Amino acid sequence: MAIRRITCFCEHQFDADVADVVDLGVDADAERRILAGEFMDVSCPLCGKVLKPEFPCRIRHDARGIDIAFFPSSIGSRICAESFRLVAPVASRSATRAFGKDRSFA
């Protein structure tokens, strides 16, 4: 769990303990909450509104061999772009080795 600063629609700010890693083999209710869209739900202590914050989370189930890095769509595209910049030079080098220096992908 990670303490996150949440700002409600009523503008009240509060700290909430939000999952940053969940092991589906340990937290028996986590899969149901994920499928129900309730996984990261927190209630504003002032007005009671149920909020759905979006933070990255790692979802694991060791017995089933599951290890997923979840990035909410609101930040996913930025992280994907950063990951692509990190991976692309490695992929280019691998492709050069696999296809030779004179080959082109065009």
Structure tokens given for 49: 């509104």
Q: Which of 12, 52, 58, 78: binder of Zn ion (CB under 5 A)?
A: 12
Q: Residue 8 interacts with Zn ion (CB under 5 A)?
A: yes
Q: Toward Zn ion, which CB reaches closer, 12 or 32?
A: 12
CA–CA gap between residue 73 and residue 78 (Å, rounded): 9
List, as one string, the DSSP characters of 38-77. -TT-EE-TTT--EE-----EEEEEGGGTEEEEE--HHHHH
When the beta carbons of 27 and 38 are compared against Zn ion, the nearer one is 38
CA distance 87 to 89: 6
Taking the complex as a whole, the smallest distance from the CB of residue 6 to Zn ion amounts, in Å, to: 9
Between 8 and 34, whose beta carbon lies closer to Zn ion? 8
Site for Zn ion in 25-64 (CB under 5 A): 44, 46-47, 49
Contact indicator for 20, 55 with CB cutoff of 8 Å: yes
The binding site for Zn ion (CB under 5 A) comprises: 8, 10, 12, 44, 46-47, 49
